[in-house]
């Protein structure tokens, strides 16, 4: 076969693969479970087939659901200085002006952050408690007793404890741009709502990735933001596309991708499987805790790597 024909054949396979995978295995919408599963059931039905679901009645017993009012949070962690991501536009860790731009990580008393979220103080900027290195246990240990250190049926199913337990509190304008990671993610909403847009890993051929110079927002004396390059850091592969208003002229393949959308309400938990692309928004002041369990680097991971490499290779030609 001539090289051109071989390339067309590979392109055709890559274009057909997401649809075939969807027909074989992915749901049209994210299913709900009415109770937490047994470890075996969870592994068999959801983790192993890499399928998302929303689980109800799994965290009803958490004191956090009742306790985490503004008054309680102010009393318990109010004066404490914590890390808050600040951006001019709500996008922390996202592509902007041809850079991968990270937020200013501002150290501020948690109650000053709450004043901004509750609009007692006005700010033109967008604030999000979203530091992901297990910030619940590292920065908010006072709150750990109101949730669980891990999710027992998940820890048993996977035979390990979570790598990180993260605490998220944000303004409605704070957006997490489309990305994927290597965690089996149990995402629990304590108050408010989270809005997820998801793509299965098999949609990779339709999702653009580019390499970007990393940079960070720095606030200037006059309060405006400048974007400062992290000159010594390596380029970061990231998705430039906004799935809420995709530029289909630039990224025509994305027209064929079919995102799943789901709302996770207070008291519910989303199982967001490893390698799934996700874009996340929230209702104003939403509070959430999530558990990141490292994925198994098994054959599923290898197949994804192959799909990723083939997608990149055909783009180079
Ligand atoms: O809640 C968010 O804003 C983002 C969560 C997320 O991306 C993650 O846990 O991987």
- The pTM is what? 0.96
Instruction: Report pLDDT for 223.
Output: 86
Instruction: Report pLDDT for 317.
Output: 76
Instruction: Report pLDDT for 6.
Output: 87
Read off the pLDDT of each residue in 180-195 and give the average, rounded to a whole number: 98
> Which among 84, 94, 131, 132 is the best mutation to test ligand 1's pocket, defined by most ligand atoms within 8 Å of the CB?
132
User: What ranges in the chain are assigned the alpha helix state H?
Assistant: 3-25, 39-42, 64-67, 70-77, 110-117, 135-139, 152-158, 299-316
Instruction: Report pLDDT for 1.
Output: 62
Average pLDDT over the chain reads: 96
Ligand 1 midpoint to CA 48 (Å): 22
Read off the pLDDT of each residue in 133-145 and give the average, rounded to a whole number: 96
Read off the pLDDT of each residue in 191-217 and give the average, rounded to a whole number: 97
Instruction: Report pLDDT for 163.
Output: 97
Instruction: Tell me the domains of the chain and their CATH numbers.
Output: 2-316 (2.60.120.10)
Instruction: Report pLDDT for 3.
Output: 77
Instruction: Report pLDDT for 185.
Output: 98
Read off the pLDDT of each residue in 251-272 and give the average, rounded to a whole number: 97
The tokens describing 262, both together, are 């789901």
Q: Is 224 helix (H, G, I), strand (E, B) or coil?
A: coil
End-to-end Cα separation, the chain, in angstroms:
17
Please name which of 255, 244, 208, 268 lies closest in space to residue 52, comparing C-alpha atoms.
Answer: 268
The tokens describing 308, both together, are 């990723």
Read off the pLDDT of each residue in 181-203 and give the average, rounded to a whole number: 98
33 beta partners: 55
Measure Cα distances from 155 to 5, 50, 146, 166, 231 in Å: 48, 16, 19, 16, 40
Does residue 287's CB lie within 6 angstroms of at least one atom of ligand 1?
Answer: no
Read off the pLDDT of each residue in 283-312 and give the average, rounded to a whole number: 97
Does residue 168's CB lie within 6 angstroms of at least one atom of ligand 1?
Answer: yes
Does residue 185's CB lie within 6 angstroms of at least one atom of ligand 1?
Answer: yes
């Amino acid at each position: 076969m001539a090289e051109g024909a071989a390339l067309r054949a590979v392109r055709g396979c890559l274009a057909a693969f997401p649809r075939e995978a969807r027909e074989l295995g992915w749901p049209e919408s994210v299913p709900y479970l009415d109770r937490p599963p047994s470890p075996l059931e969870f592994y068999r039905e959801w983790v192993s087939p890499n399928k998302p679901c929303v689980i109800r009645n799994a965290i009803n017993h958490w004191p956090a659901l009742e306790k985490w009012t503004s008054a309680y949070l102010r009393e318990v962690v109010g004066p404490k200085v914590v890390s808050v991501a600040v951006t001019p536009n709500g996008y922390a860790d996202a592509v902007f002006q041809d850079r991968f731009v990270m937020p200013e990580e501002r150290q501020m008393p948690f109650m000053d952050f709450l004043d901004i979220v509750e609009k007692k103080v006005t700010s033109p900027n967008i604030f999000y408690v979203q530091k992901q290195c297990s910030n619940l246990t590292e920065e908010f240990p006072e709150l750990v007793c109101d949730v669980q250190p891990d999710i027992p049926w998940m820890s048993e199913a996977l035979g390990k404890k979570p790598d990180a337990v993260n605490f998220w509190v944000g303004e409605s304008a704070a957006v997490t741009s489309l990305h994927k990671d290597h965690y089996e993610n149990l995402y629990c909403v304590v108050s408010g709502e989270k809005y997820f847009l998801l793509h299965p890993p098999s949609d990779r051929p339709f999702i653009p990735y580019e390499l970007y110079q990393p940079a960070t927002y720095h606030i200037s004396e006059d309060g405006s933001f400048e974007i400062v390059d992290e000159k010594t850091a390596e380029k970061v592969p990231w998705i430039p596309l906004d799935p809420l208003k995709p530029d289909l002229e630039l990224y025509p393949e994305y027209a064929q991708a079919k995102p799943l959308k789901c709302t996770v309400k207070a008291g519910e938990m989303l199982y967001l499987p490893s390698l799934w692309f996700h874009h996340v928004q929230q209702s104003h002041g939403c509070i959430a805790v999530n558990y990141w369990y490292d994925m198994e680097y098994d054959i599923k991971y290898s197949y994804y790597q192959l799909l990723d490499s083939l997608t990149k290779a055909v783009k180079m030609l």
